[in-house]
């Protein structure tokens, strides 16, 4: 018998892979691949086979970029191999209001 922590990712992949590729599917797979903390400070969208990730700060952008290999392997498992061929990360810092 497998522990639930091993069974859930396989079951999730089996349910997710056959579904048509859509922004919602990509967002769900992103959330499952990176976890709640990273998901809260990033947004991700697929353009062709490139996953574009906007991070809330340079710190989070670096963290995601450094983890991109493992993130891609998780996305391969969830979406199918080759759906995401590259992860591009940029930092989107909030605009500061200032008086002129």
Looking at residue 24, which CATH number applies to its domain? Answer: 3.30.300
3-state SS, the chain, equals CCCHHHHHHHHHHHHHCCCCCCHHHHHHHHHHHHCHHHHHCEEEEEECCEEEEEECCHHHHHHHHHCHHHHHHHHHHHHCCCCCCEEEEEECCCCCCCCC
Structural domains in the chain (count): 1
Is 99 part of a structural domain of the chain? Answer: no
Is 11 part of a structural domain of the chain? Answer: yes
Is 36 part of a structural domain of the chain? Answer: yes
Is 23 part of a structural domain of the chain? Answer: yes
* Residue 31 domain boundaries: 4-91
Say what the pTM is. 0.80
For residue 12, name the pLDDT band (cuts at 50, 70, 90): confident
Is 20 part of a structural domain of the chain? Answer: yes
Is 10 part of a structural domain of the chain? Answer: yes
Is 96 part of a structural domain of the chain? Answer: no
* Model confidence pLDDT, tens digit, residues 41-96: 999 999 999 999 999 999 999 999 999 999 999 999 999 999 999 999 999 876 55
């Amino acid at each position: 018998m497998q522990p639930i922590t091993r069974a859930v990712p396989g079951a999730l992949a089996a349910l997710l892979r056959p579904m048509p590729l859509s922004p919602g599917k990509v967002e769900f797979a992103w959330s499952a691949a990176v976890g709640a903390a990273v998901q809260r400070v990033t947004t991700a969208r697929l353009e062709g086979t490139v996953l574009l990730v906007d991070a809330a700060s340079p710190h989070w952008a670096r963290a995601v970029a450094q983890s991109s290999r493992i993130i891609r392997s998780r996305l391969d498992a969830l979406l199918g191999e080759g759906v995401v061929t590259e992860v591009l990360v940029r930092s989107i810092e909030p605009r500061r209001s200032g008086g002129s």
